[in-house]
Amino acid sequence: MSDKHKVTIDGITVEVEAGTSILNAARQIGGDIVPPAMCYYSKLEGSGGKCRTCLVQVSKGSEKDPRPMPKLVASCRTTVMDGMEVKNITSPEVVEARKGVVEMLLLNHPLDCPVCDQAGECHLQDLGYEHGRAKTRYEFDRRTFEKVDLGDKIQLHMTRCILCYRCVFTADQITNTRLHGVLNRGDHSEISTYISKAIDNDFSGNVIDVCPVGALTDKTFRFKNRVWFTKPVQAHRDCDHEKCNGKVTLWYKGEEVIRVTARKDQYGEVEEFICNTCRFDKKQTSDWVIEAPTKISNKSVISSNHYDTMKPLPVVKTNPQLLEANKEQFERDTRL
Amino acid sequence: MGRKLLLEHINVPGINTLEVYRQKGGYRSVEKALKQMTPEEIVEEVKKSGLRGRGGAGFPTGMKWGFLAKPEGVARYLVCNGDESEPGTFKDRYLMTYIPHALIEGMIVGSFALGAHVSYIYLRGEMMPQIRILEKAIAEAKAAGFLGKNILGTGYDLELYVQPGGGAYICGEETALLESLEGKRGNPRIKPPFPAIAGLYGCPTVVNNVESIAAVVPIINDGGEEYAKIGVGRSTGTKLISAGGNLKKPGVYEIELGLTCEEFVYSDEYCGGIANGKTLKAVVAGGSSVPILPNNLFFKTANGEARLMSYESLSDGGFATGTMLGSGGFIAYDEDQCIVRNTWNFTRFYHHESCGQCSPCREGTGWMEKVLHRLEHGHGKMSDIDLLVDVSKKIEGNTICPLGDAAAWPVASAIRHFRDEFEWHVTHPSEATTRNFGLAHYADPLPKKEETAA
Ligand SMILES: Cc1cc2nc3c(=O)[nH]c(=O)nc-3n(C[C@H](O)[C@H](O)[C@H](O)COP(=O)(O)O)c2cc1C
Ligand code: SF4
Ligand code: SF4
Ligand code: FES
């Protein structure tokens, strides 16, 4: 048996390694047929299966057993079989179910985007725009929680949480100790440290990056600026933490570094987790070696103010290499 | 009189003690299984019996046992699911309270058949008396040499533990149960892998209902074929039904599968009819999760045949006109019961018990509960009825575990069959808070039944 499996998603065929999930096969194809994923995170073992936004229809199980699967399946947790045929955006059922899931996710969400630091880079916001209804059918009070500080660097705004469990997995797998988890059940569930304990270890800041919404935010960046007014720049430093390689994205406003995050790919997943020193304590340009402006999809609002060749960022202006890269990117991203 | 296999000696004084239980032929199956049979033969016998899981899904037990992976050097487990928390179902508790040795005997035979040396009985936390009863019974069995090392000199070792849960309905779902048993939060696991491959502590595991395990005892004593002679078609053997609601004689009954619904409700051997001379309005045949049926559709299937208490006959007509045997939690509603209130009450339960892992169930159950609450209390709108149907459809089939379906079905079916009553709650809001809709046409002979869009 070959260890390559052929799978067809919305009519596009791709060959992938055995054991690949439908979602990752779709990501290899790319484009519109990639199901949205709110809880799956490729770097976190056991993640996925919870939010149900990535539901797809398997219209043919495999070459050997062509029967379709009876229910829609979570593409992030279903592995491909050879000859499998999957329908995502070509299936009306999937589109309908996804609309339902988005509605559910937004049901108790405060929709306080105007005052939320995540706005502009929030996956729920994107999802809502793309698949949601214009108006909610929910006519009851929404669930609310008090904001809590998880130590002096991280703030938890539970009201916005979609219970994707990513931060729990991160704390479990990336940090040495997990100090928070999910308490209670059903729609009373909440992310908490139970006795308002501060979350404190070298990698705890990563929960901010994995959070798809504005539930976990960086207190050092809080209310400083809207992300679309800031300019992301790739940079690195020689970090002495054994598990951190110091590769980050710096978010500039004028000459000031106002936020440091890990580098994220087009699905919002970090390339490598970074330590808290890099994230919270190194906010001088002199701490870093600048590489290049971060590539931002021209669909993102973050790109809206950036590649303004007339007024390049001060740090770019003084660096010929960055100047060139900036111009290139500006041209590429404005061609369409 | 229908045959009794599980509850034959239930009225014998002291049957909860090992001594009396032994006098009535107890632990014969252990001697037979361990001394005269191989594990494969036991599994074969259970397959022949046609026994289907009594926990709700009705999956053939023999087949489930046959699927258990048997890698070298890896422990295997048999776990008994005694979490019984479905509204309307109380048969397992009854069995464990009055005849605990039946379960322990079944556990020994089952563990031997599956090659398990440590087995667990997981009980919901509220069942403290049953936990004590079982622990006492286990101690008795151990003292008599039926548990522990080298059972009956056959060289087979088995330890049996009772584990109380925290009292969550969701911990009855088999993978949530395993998580809970491992000491974690009782969230259902995402399948695959199924427990038969990777269950408790990652080892191959079989999870069975209390009654399924107890039913193995008569199967081994009398043979699978003998067991299969009882019942109709693929519904073999006897089944415990916990009957509640407006019945003259509520209680736990052992029926031969295939008994007519008519006889079950009206004969003096079973429920003895409806209490206080009233008329039956509706029935939930298998615990709160199964679709509710109006009187007329419960006694007769859509094509006019008498409905039987069996897996097939109860589900005749699919969800449009049928229901399911489920876990045997039979609830009868007389003419004075309000279906809207009942639906709200069930939904309140699912809202409270959802584990909150997946978004459709976490948010949808709460939403349905709020809308139903509003309808029941006279603040509903006509559009709420279709909204409920739509929300239930958005939950159904889109969740990790079947709790989502279980929450959606009662709502969808109540509206399917009792839409008039829901509409009446909207059109007569103040009246609806002071009196009930009544029997209406729900007991009329069938052809009159109007088709409503579901
Ligand atoms: C939400 C939920 C609750 C359940 N609760 C129980 C229960 O309390 N007792 C039980 O035996 N099975 C329960 N089940 C069914 C179990 O998942 C499983 O199917 C059963 O224990 C298998 O045993 P059986 O094959 O002997 O029926 C529940 C299932 C779900 C989805
Ligand atoms: S806080 Fe964020 S990462 Fe954690 S569960 Fe909630 S939404 Fe997910
Ligand atoms: S369906 Fe409900 S109970 Fe089951 S896993 Fe999802 S949220 Fe939990
Ligand atoms: S990404 Fe697949 S269920 Fe959330």
**Mean pLDDT score of chain A, rounded to an integer?**
88
Which ligand lies nearest to the CA atom of residue A41 in the structure?
A: 4
Residues A97 and A11 in one domain: yes
The pLDDT value recorded for residue A207 is: 94
**Residues near A269 by beta carbon (within 8 Å), at least 6 away in sequence:** A41, A42, A43
E strand map for chain A: 4-9, 12-17, 55-60, 73-74, 84-87, 148-150, 154-156, 181-183, 190-192, 216-218, 231-236, 247-253, 256-262, 289-293
Tokens 């050997």 appear where? A64
Q: What is the pLDDT of residues B367-388, one digit of tens each?
A: 999 999 999 999 999 999 999 9
Domain stops at, among A70, A102, A134: A102
| Contact flag A186-B398 (C-beta cutoff 8 Å) | no
Same domain, A161 and A182: yes
Same domain, A70 and A148: no
pLDDT(A304) > 70: no
Q: Tell whether A232 and A325 lie within a shared domain.
A: yes
> Final residue of a domain: which of A167, A183, A218?
A218
What Å distances lie between residue B187 and A197, B173, B349, CA to CA?
Answer: 24, 9, 17
Q: How are beta strands B238-245 and B329-334 bridged, if at all? A: parallel
Calculate the CA dihedral of residues B185, B190, B195, B201 and round it to 10 degrees: -40
Q: Is the pLDDT of residue B448 over 50?
A: no
Q: Is the pLDDT of residue B308 over 70?
A: yes
CB contact under 8 A, B398 and A185: no
What chain A residue is nearest to B404 in terms of C-alpha separation? A186
Tell me whether residue A68 is in a domain. yes
Helix (H) or strand (E) holding A328, with range, is helix A320-334
The CATH number covering residue A158 comes to: 3.30.70.20
CA gap B107, B214 in Å, rounded: 8
Number of structural domains chain A divides into = 3
Please give the structure tokens belonging to residue A34.
Answer: 């990639």
User: What's the pLDDT tens digit per position in B404-443?
Assistant: 999 999 999 999 999 999 999 999 999 998 889 999 888 8
Give Rg (Cα) of chain B: 22
**Within-domain flag for A246:** yes
Q: Are residues A136 and A73 in the same domain?
A: no
B363, exposed or middle or buried, with CB in 10 Å at 0-12, 13-18, 19+?
Answer: buried
Q: Are B113 and B146 in contact (CB under 8 A)?
A: no
Chain A residue numbers with beta carbons less than 8 Å from the beta carbon of B394 are 97, 100-101, 103-104
* Final residue in a domain of this structure, among A171, A195, A218: A218
CA distance B170 to B165: 11
Regarding the beta carbon of B401 and ligand 3, being less than 6 Å apart is answered yes
Per the model's pLDDT, the better-predicted residue between B184 and A133 turns out to be: B184
Whether B363 contacts chain A with CB within 8 A: yes
Are residue A246 and residue A315 in the same domain, yes or no? yes
With beta carbons under 8 A apart, name residues in chain A contacting B185. Answer: 181-182
Specify if A166 maps to a domain. yes
Whether A45 and A73 map to the same domain: the answer is: yes
Backbone angles phi, psi at B317, to 5 degrees: 95, 0
Residue A278 has pLDDT above 50, yes or no: yes
Domain assignment of residue A138, yes or no: yes
Q: How confident is the model at residue A313 (pLDDT cuts 50, 70, 90)?
A: low
Task: Identify the pLDDT of residue A196.
Answer: 66
* pTM recorded for the entire structure: 0.92
Backbone dihedral angles phi then psi of residue B164, each to the nearest 5 degrees: -75, 140
Neighbours of B54 (CB within 10 A): 26
Q: pLDDT at position B449, please? A: 47
pLDDT digits (tens, 9 = 90+) for B383-412: 999 999 999 999 999 999 999 999 999 999
Q: At A197, list the tokens.
A: 């304990």
Confirm whether A240 is domain-assigned. Answer: yes
Question: Range of A14's domain?
Answer: 4-102
Query: Which pLDDT does position A309 carry in this prediction?
Result: 46
DSSP 3-state percent helix, strand, coil across chain A (nearest 5): 30, 20, 50
pLDDT at B67: 95
* pLDDT above 50 (res B39): yes
Specify whether A128 is located in the same domain as A181: yes
Q: Do A261 and A209 belong together in one domain?
A: no
Residue A206: other Cβ atoms inside 10 A: 26
Residue of A nearest to B402 (CA): A71
Output DSSP code: residue B306. Answer: B
Q: Which ligand is nearest to the CA of A165?
A: 2
Domains identified in chain B and CATH numbers: 18-229 (3.40.50.11540), 232-334 (3.10.20.600), 339-427 (1.20.1440.230)
Examine the domain organization and report whether A167 and A142 are in the same domain.
yes
Q: Is the pLDDT of residue A298 over 70?
A: no
Phi-psi region of B247 (alpha: psi -120 to 50; beta: other; left: phi over 0): beta
Q: How far apart are CA B409 and CA B367, in angstroms?
A: 15
Q: For ligand 3, is residue B365 a contact (CB within 6 Å)?
A: no
- Domain check: are A27 and A91 in the same one? yes
- Give the confidence band of A43 by pLDDT, cuts at 50, 70, 90: very high
A212 secondary structure, DSSP code: S
A49 touches chain B (CB under 8 A): yes
Q: Do the domain assignments include residue A115?
A: no
ipTM attached to this prediction: 0.88
CB B65 within 8 A of CB B114: yes
A276 and A323 within one domain: yes
The two structure tokens encoding residue A218: 């960086």
Indicate yes or no: CB of B398 within 8 angstroms of CB of A138.
Answer: no
